[in-house]
Amino acid sequence: MNSKNDRYRIDRTAFSITTVEDAHTTDKVFWRSTTPEERLEALENLRQTIYGYDPALARLQRVLEVIERK
């Protein structure tokens, strides 16, 4: 299965014990080493994971009309 989502799979064989501070530092180093496009792609993946994604679901367009009172 070679899809975009394979990139975000959890490697359950990798395991290390660290402090919270070290984890934050490691996360900062990782995210700063990625391109803005890669960060947005990861963000979109999280959004779809949390809220779901159904390409067949039709969306209604929002329309705003301004009415002036006389």
* pLDDT at residue 1 greater than cutoff 60: no
Phi, psi of 18 (to 5 degrees): -150, 170
- 62 — pLDDT class (breaks 50, 70, 90): confident
Whole-angstrom Cα distance, residue 34 to residue 7?
14
Kindly tell me if the per-residue pLDDT of 2 is higher than 80. Answer: no
Tally of CA atoms within 13 A in the half-sphere of 3 that contains its CB: 4
pLDDT for residue 58: 62
- Reading the block at residue 65, the tokens are 């009309």
**Residue 10 pLDDT:** 78
Tens digit of pLDDT for each residue in 14-57? 888 889 999 999 999 999 999 999 999 999 888 888 888 777 76
What residue spans of the chain are helical by DSSP H? 20-33, 36-51
